[in-house]
Amino acid sequence: MVLNKIALAAAAVISTAPAMAQVTSVTQLRDVQPTEWSYQAISNLITNYGCIAGYPSGVFKPGQAATRAELAALTNACLDNITQFYTEADARTAAALRAEFSREIAATNSRVSALELAAARKSQGVGNYLGAAVLLNQQGVEGNGYDATRTIAGATIQGRYAVKTFANQNAVSVRPYVNFVGDPTGQIGAGGGTLLTYDWSLARASSGVSRLNLYTGVGYQVPFVNNTLSNFQSAVGEKGQAVFAVGAESRLTSTLTAFADVKFPTTNAANSYGVEDGSYSPVYSLGLGFKF
C-alpha cells in the first residue's frame, strides 16, 4: 500500500517532466558507455529487471541529479518487476538451500569475523610488532678513561607477540630483545633476553581492540659480547640474570607502534667485576615498532 502511494505521488510529479521511454538493452542509451563506473549496474537493472527508462532522445543522463519523484518511481518499478521472478516455489528453494548450507555459511561468517578482527587489531590497535629503540645505560666500571657512571647510548631491537588476548583486551605477551652498546674507544657489548609480560589495556579503538597498553613482566638476559674495561653495566652484564621490566606502548598509525620501557636486572653488574659500591643502573629504551 505504501509503495502504491509512493508510485501515485511519483507519477503525478513525473507527468510534468519529459516523457521516459522504456529500454531493453543498455546499448540503447547513447550516453551510458562501458567506461562509466555505473555501467554494469545500469545494464543489470535493464537486462534482469527491466526497470530503467531513458529519455525519448535515447539518453539516460547518468550524471544528472535525480528528483525524489524520479527515485520513487524507479524504486517502485524495480520492486514490481522483481516480484515477478519470485514465486512460492522460489521461496521454498531458497529456504532449503539456506538449511542445507547453514553450517558452511556459519563457518564462513565466523572466518570472516575473525579476519575482520585481525585486520582491525593490526590497523587500529597496538598489535604485534618488531622495532628498534634508543638505549641509555651507565658504563658500570671505570675504564678506557671514563668514569663508571658515564651514561652511554646504544640500540635495542625488541618485539612483541601477544600469545593470549582476553575479552577486556588485556593480554599475555612474549617480548624478545637484543641490546647493543659501544664506547668511543671501539669497545662493544651485546646481550639479550626475553620477557614474559602481562599487558593492561588503558584505551581502546572504535573496533574494541587496545590502542594503549601498560605492561609489566619478568624475563632472563644473557651477555653475548662484553669488555671488562667497559662492562656496559646492566645493558649487557657479566652473566645471565633475571630481569624485571615495566613499560608502555601505543598505536601511532596502522603500521607503527611506539614503545618505551625500563628493565631492572637482578644483579649489579658493576659489583660483579669487583667494584666496591658500584652504582646500580636500570636500562631505558624508547623506540618504534613495525606491526606484522
Q: What is the mean pLDDT of residues 9-24?
A: 48
Residue-wise pLDDT tens digits, 75-122? 777 776 666 666 677 667 767 777 777 787 778 778 877 777 777 777
- Give me the phi and psi of 186, to 5 degrees please: 95, 0
Separation CA 76–CA 26 (nearest Å): 20
Residue 276's pLDDT band (cuts 50, 70, 90): low
Burial of 102 (0-12, 13-18, 19+ CB in 10 A): exposed
Residue-wise pLDDT tens digits, 40-53? 888 888 887 777 77
Instruction: With respect to residue 67, please indicate whether it lies within any of the assigned structural domains.
Output: yes
Instruction: With respect to residue 114, please indicate whether it lies within any of the assigned structural domains.
Output: no
Instruction: With respect to residue 145, please indicate whether it lies within any of the assigned structural domains.
Output: yes
Residue 277's pLDDT band (cuts 50, 70, 90): low
Shared domain for 80 and 172, answered yes or no, is no
Residue closest to 265 by CA, chosen among 235, 286, 229, 228:
235
Residue 39's pLDDT band (cuts 50, 70, 90): confident
Shared domain for 155 and 278, answered yes or no, is yes
Separation CA 288–CA 256 (nearest Å): 7
Residue 272's pLDDT band (cuts 50, 70, 90): low
Residue-wise pLDDT tens digits, 131-157? 999 999 887 777 667 777 778 889 999
Q: Looking at 69-170, which runs of residues are DSSP E strands?
A: 129-138, 151-165
Query: Residue 226 maps to which CATH number?
Result: 2.40.160.20
* Total tally of structural domains belonging to the chain: 2
Q: What is the mean pLDDT of residues 161-187?
A: 91
Among 86, 108, 142, which residue terminates a domain? 86
Shared domain for 285 and 166, answered yes or no, is yes
Report the percent of the chain where pLDDT is more than 70.
Answer: 80
Shared domain for 132 and 265, answered yes or no, is yes
Contact criterion met (CB below 8 Å) for 63 and 35: no
Residue 10's pLDDT band (cuts 50, 70, 90): very low
Which cell numbers hold the place of 47?
537486462
Shared domain for 154 and 280, answered yes or no, is yes
Shared domain for 63 and 140, answered yes or no, is no
pLDDT computed for residue 220 by the predictor:
97
Which residue range is the domain that position 6 belongs to? Answer: 2-86
Instruction: With respect to residue 189, please indicate whether it lies within any of the assigned structural domains.
Output: yes
Residue 243 has pLDDT above 80, yes or no: yes
Contact criterion met (CB below 8 Å) for 181 and 236: yes
Instruction: With respect to residue 95, please indicate whether it lies within any of the assigned structural domains.
Output: no
Report the percent of the chain where pLDDT is more than 90.
Answer: 34
Instruction: With respect to residue 108, please indicate whether it lies within any of the assigned structural domains.
Output: no
Average pLDDT, the chain: 81
pLDDT computed for residue 19 by the predictor:
47
Among 86, 116, 133, which residue terminates a domain? 86
